Amino acid sequence: MTQNKDAFSHLNKEQREAVLTTEGPLLILAGAGSGKTSTMTHRIAHLIKDEGVEPWQILAVTFTNKAAGEMRERVESLLDGPVNMWILTFHAACLRILRRHAEVLGYSNSFTVYDPVDCKAVVKAIVKEEKIDEKQFPISSLLGKISDCKEQEITPQTYRTAFGTGYREDVIFRVYERYEHELKKNNAMDFDDLLLNTVRLFERDEAVLDQYQRRFRYIMVDEYQDTNHVQYKFVRALAEKHRNICVVGDDDQCIYQWRGADITNILDFEKDFPGAKVIKLEQNYRSTGNILAAAHSVIANNSRRKAKKLWTSADEGQKITYYRAEDEKDEARYIAQEIDRLCTIDRQWKDFAVLYRTNAQSRNFEESLSRRDIPYRVVGGVRYYERKEIKDLVAYMRLVENPDDELSLLRILNEPKRGIGNTTRDKLTALAGVRQESLFRTLSDPDVQDGLSAKAGKAVHELMETLTKYHDERANLLISDIYDGLLNETGYMKALEDMNNVEGDSRLENLLEFRTVIEDYQKEGGDSLPEFLEKIALLSDIDNHDPSENAVVLMTLHSAKGLEFPFVFMPGMEDGLFPGWRAQDSPDGLEEERRLCYVGITRAKERLCMTSASYRTLYGKGSYTRESTFLREMDPKLLVGDGVFQKREEVMHGRSVKIDGYSNPEPYRPFGGNIGSPYDRMGSAKREVHAKKKAPIALAAGDKVFHNKFGEGLVIEVSGNVVSVMFDKAGLKKLAADIAPLKKIQE
Ligand code: ATP
Ligand code: MG
């Protein structure tokens, strides 16, 4: 063996051992920042350079396209040149295999890959034909169910056998079976099929399996802790012959159980591959002593984990700083100010990362950073005001102000789906051109509506009615009431709720967070819709800088996996936000959140700063907060700052936590108590919006009323939908009763 000493001289003993252990199953189980990914990269370079392995004989699988790209770069730099090897995500690897052999499974090799939008259309058509009630069985939840089944290799038939023929189960079975049939008929596969069909291909055709087993003499998988059942089978099947499989991972960083990741894959590796060598990397090269100790003091609270220790030869470094902000604005202001202060001569903006729990939190940081002219980029996500759902709702609001805004009308005409395709849309635009009137006018014409398909005609009619109504009444409504009204009456919110999946929830979160933007504007005395829209327009195109440029990184904790930064900020350390309120009910959920916290802390190389807001408005709902369980779990010696929890004294979890006369109006409840509603801001924001949809109240002359915008007044006359009210301050107003935000005052 011609070992290249130079290339490995900086590796430690265990890392070198892992690089040199090329034969047989190998598990590198190690904590964060211990060089797992680097070791894997070196191992690939070693195989090619020193062992004479051909690049095409190696398969390296990673979790995201970004990680695959980075790994390829690192390998190529170690080998001084491009390599032709498979460094791919699971989906990409499977797609390549299926393109060559799909006919074994009865597809042609030019099969189509359906993205989630295509799949939805398929399920929708089935639901319609089978006359299934969409309210009871939303499309997205059916699709989610199908995906769950596929992840666990459950066919329609096995589903039926296992779950029986109850009403619900029967519907799911029927839809699933027909869905499979439809896709097959169209020579199409969905994303789950890519994995599942590859596994089936291997089971069905020994010759094909044999070919790949021979070809891939060396298989490596990064982030193995986040593989699901089918991915696991794929890896297992391929590795069976040569058994040169190396998986690396950290059970403490499994953060995708909600998407089917199965932590037992990594915990059972030694059972699955008898004789496996296990190498533990114990030196952390990434973080300072204090950061590492903080990470440990948190993760140590998880019960289901393999004990691991990590040490570092780095200095203790600075303590973790903690700032208890007044509110989320103050929190964002503080973080921007700190970044400005810390970014001295030998630092770059890209050395700083703000890692938050939910996308909706990004907005305040975007604003506070731009206020200081600090460049930033939102990684793995879109800047808040550029998000589709925000732009859509802004378009609706623009139409309320100005119905002739054709650009906005075209934007939302089929958002949510109203059955108006591109062709129809173009025809309508052309018609408006011929008639020399605005598109809005054309669409308001009953004859034009009648000319559309029954569904589209009805939908357009409703849309025009809603927009006209809000346009006419806009002077009599608060912006927040217009916004909530639009969310309800355009069907936008319902469409997202019906998606009933993570994507829908996250878009809904962003929309509900927009209520905070409006609330803030109104709190400052703002009352003009055009002025508000102008403000938003300005905010949305603050510096359109190049995303590859040197900039502060904003992203969710989930997308930060595998990455590292000199300075990390973790905002929103509050119970109900992080850990999320949903996780607090289940021990498993809480453990997964805790792993996410561990992932976050261990991204930091030099400095970590955590913050929380004592009063937080999220989704337009404000409430006092309690500092995160995870903060309380951290060894207080590692923290400096103003942790209220550090000063109180109360027994929790059998441990002693200091508490002083802390005047949080939120009653203090030990963890595990019922902290449901005030923390479920999203739920209560949703309910608040829905509540506005209630049937209008019956009013009669003489009633005393309260109006959100005009305050108290007396009803003078009610005539059809028009109610005339004499307001104490605003004088006489004629309002549309069905949307006026009126409450009766009982005397
Ligand atoms: P994660 O669990 O977060 O994915 P990891 O275990 O994959 O982390 P790497 O990202 O490979 O860790 O390495 C963490 C940091 O440590 C990197 O900056 C890497 O360059 C550095 N590093 C790894 N091994 C060594 C070593 N032997 N000597 C010096 N630095 C090292
Ligand atoms: Mg890694």
Q: At what angle do helices 502-523 and 529-540 cross, to 10 degrees?
A: 120
Q: Is 259 a catalytic residue?
A: no
The per-residue pLDDT for 538 is 66
Specify whether 79 is located in the same domain as 210: yes
Q: CA 317, CA 268: separation in Å to the nearest integer?
A: 37
CATH code, 437: 1.10.486.10
Q: Is 286 in the pocket of ligand 1 (CB under 6 A)?
A: yes
Specify whether 345 is located in the same domain as 444: no
Q: Is 361 a catalytic residue?
A: no
Q: Could you tell me if 45 and 17 are in contact, meaning their C-beta atoms sit under 8 angstroms apart?
A: no
Lowest mean pLDDT among 26-30, 113-117, 312-316, 478-482: 113-117
Determine how many CB atoms are found less than 10 A away from the CB of residue 267. 16
Residue range of the domain that includes 231:
5-99+195-281
Q: Is 36 in the pocket of ligand 1 (CB under 6 A)?
A: yes
At which residue do the structure tokens 């000199």 appear?
Answer: 566
- CB neighbours of 171 closer than 8 A, spacing ≥ 6? 130, 132, 137
- The answer to whether residue 392 is domain-embedded is no
- φ and ψ of 574, to 5 deg: -140, 140
Determine the average pLDDT of the residues in 698-726: 92
Specify whether 599 is located in the same domain as 705: no
CA of 563 to the centre of ligand 1 (A): 10
Closest listed ligand to the CA of 285 = 1
CATH code, 131: 1.10.10.160
Q: CA 226, CA 220: separation in Å to the nearest integer?
A: 14
**Identity of residue 597:** C
What sign for the dihedral angle of Cα 664, 680, 388, 426? negative
Q: CA 141, CA 137: separation in Å to the nearest integer?
A: 7
- The answer to whether residue 678 is domain-embedded is no
Q: CA 531, CA 654: separation in Å to the nearest integer?
A: 55
- Show which of 537, 564, 585 is a domain's final residue: 537
Determine how many CB atoms are found less than 10 A away from the CB of residue 394. 21
CA angle, corner 373, sides to 368 and 377, nearest 5? 75
- The answer to whether residue 107 is domain-embedded is no
Q: Tell me how many domains the chain contains.
A: 5
DSSP 653-699: TTEEEEB-----SSPP--TTS--HHHH-HHHHHHHHHHHTTSPPPP-
Specify whether 413 is located in the same domain as 491: yes
Identify which of 213, 270, 277, 200 has the alpha carbon closest to the alpha carbon of residue 241. Answer: 213
The yes-or-no verdict on residue 372 having pLDDT over 80 is: yes
Looking from the CA of 464 toward its CB, the CA atoms found within 13 Å total 18
CA of 284 to the centre of ligand 1 (A): 7
Residue 49 CA from chain centroid, whole number: 40
β-pair partners for 377: 553
- φ and ψ of 24, to 5 deg: 85, 165
Q: Could you tell me if 266 and 29 are in contact, meaning their C-beta atoms sit under 8 angstroms apart?
A: yes
The yes-or-no verdict on residue 374 having pLDDT over 50 is: yes
Determine how many CB atoms are found less than 10 A away from the CB of residue 410. 16
- Show which of 494, 509, 537 is a domain's final residue: 537
Q: Does residue 173 come out as left (phi exceeding 0), alpha (psi in the -120 to 50 range) or beta? A: alpha
Nearest CA to ligand 1 atom 21: 285
Specify whether 533 is located in the same domain as 422: yes
- The answer to whether residue 479 is domain-embedded is yes
Active-site entry in 151, 223, 338, 519:
223
Q: Is 504 in the pocket of ligand 1 (CB under 6 A)?
A: no
- φ and ψ of 704, to 5 deg: -90, 135
- CB neighbours of 60 closer than 8 A, spacing ≥ 6? 40, 44, 68, 71, 85, 86, 87, 88, 219, 220, 221, 222
Active-site entry in 222, 392, 481, 627:
222
SS3 call for 338: helix
The per-residue pLDDT for 273 is 94
Q: Is 62 in the pocket of ligand 1 (CB under 6 A)?
A: no
Determine how many CB atoms are found less than 10 A away from the CB of residue 206. 10
Identify which of 425, 641, 394 has the alpha carbon closest to the alpha carbon of residue 511. Answer: 394
Specify whether 420 is located in the same domain as 296: no
Task: Kindly indicate the confidence band of residue 340, based on its pLDDT and cuts at 50, 70 and 90.
Answer: very high
- Burial zone of 636 (CB within 10 Å; 0-12 exposed, 13-18 middle, 19+ buried): middle
Nearest CA to ligand 1 atom 8: 33
The per-residue pLDDT for 168 is 92
> What token pair was written down for 260?
């089917």
> What token pair was written down for 3?
């070992």
Specify whether 565 is located in the same domain as 525: no
Q: In what order do the strands lie in the sheet containing 58-62?
A: 86-89, 58-62, 218-221, 245-249, 26-29, 277-279
Q: Is 152 a catalytic residue?
A: no
- Show which of 131, 161, 186 is a domain's final residue: 186
Q: CA 282, CA 273: separation in Å to the nearest integer?
A: 23
* pLDDT per residue as tens digits for the range 433-476: 999 999 999 999 999 999 999 999 999 999 999 999 999 999 99
* pLDDT per residue as tens digits for the range 122-179: 898 899 889 999 889 988 889 989 999 999 899 999 999 999 889 999 999 999 999 9
Q: CA 425, CA 501: separation in Å to the nearest integer?
A: 29
Closest listed ligand to the CA of 286 = 1
Q: Is 8 in the pocket of ligand 1 (CB under 6 A)?
A: no
Determine the average pLDDT of the residues in 588-606: 95
Specify whether 33 is located in the same domain as 84: yes
Q: CA 84, CA 245: separation in Å to the nearest integer?
A: 20
CATH code, 372: 3.40.50.300
- The answer to whether residue 209 is domain-embedded is yes
Q: Does residue 59 come out as left (phi exceeding 0), alpha (psi in the -120 to 50 range) or beta? A: beta
Q: Is 603 a catalytic residue?
A: yes
Q: Is 64 in the pocket of ligand 1 (CB under 6 A)?
A: no
The per-residue pLDDT for 540 is 60
Specify whether 275 is located in the same domain as 295: no
Closest listed ligand to the CA of 563 = 1
* pLDDT per residue as tens digits for the range 87-98: 998 988 999 999
- The answer to whether residue 649 is domain-embedded is no
Peptide bond into 530 cis (omega under 30): no
Determine the average pLDDT of the residues in 737-747: 87
The per-residue pLDDT for 301 is 94
What secondary structure letter does DSSP report for 114?
Answer: P
> What token pair was written down for 231?
């991915």
Q: Measure Cα distances from 543 to 366, 370, 533, 546, 719 in Å.
A: 11, 8, 18, 9, 51
Specify whether 93 is located in the same domain as 145: no
Q: At what angle do helices 191-204 and 229-239 cross, to 10 degrees?
A: 40
The yes-or-no verdict on residue 662 having pLDDT over 90 is: no
Q: At what angle do helices 167-185 and 139-151 cross, to 10 degrees?
A: 80
What separation, in Å, do the N-terminal and C-terminal C-alpha atoms of the chain show? 94
Closest listed ligand to the CA of 599 = 1
Mean pLDDT for the chain overall: 87
- φ and ψ of 736, to 5 deg: -80, 115
Active-site entry in 160, 305, 418, 603:
603
Lowest mean pLDDT among 194-198, 262-266, 398-402, 482-486: 262-266
Q: Does residue 573 come out as left (phi exceeding 0), alpha (psi in the -120 to 50 range) or beta? A: beta
Q: Is the pTM of this model over 0.85?
A: no
Q: Is 223 a catalytic residue?
A: yes
Lowest mean pLDDT among 66-80, 117-131, 538-552: 538-552
Q: CA 326, CA 315: separation in Å to the nearest integer?
A: 33
Ligand 1: residue of 13, 38, 42, 73 to mutate (most ligand atoms within 8 A of CB) is 38
- The answer to whether residue 433 is domain-embedded is yes
Determine the average pLDDT of the residues in 258-268: 83
- CB neighbours of 93 closer than 8 A, spacing ≥ 6? 59, 61, 86
Nearest CA to ligand 1 atom 24: 35
What secondary structure letter does DSSP report for 718?
Answer: E
SS3 call for 613: strand
Q: Could you tell me if 719 and 729 are in contact, meaning their C-beta atoms sit under 8 angstroms apart?
A: no
- CB neighbours of 573 closer than 8 A, spacing ≥ 6? 322, 610, 611, 612, 627, 628, 630, 631
Q: CA 610, CA 568: separation in Å to the nearest integer?
A: 8
- Percent of residues in the chain assigned helix, strand, coil, to nearest 5: 50, 15, 35
Specify whether 423 is located in the same domain as 352: no
Specify whether 415 is located in the same domain as 379: no
* pLDDT per residue as tens digits for the range 30-41: 999 999 999 999
Identify which of 317, 275, 269, 267 has the alpha carbon closest to the alpha carbon of residue 292. Answer: 317
- The answer to whether residue 650 is domain-embedded is no
Q: Measure Cα distances from 679 to 213, 324, 683 in Å.
A: 51, 18, 9
Pick 117 or 604 by higher pLDDT: 604
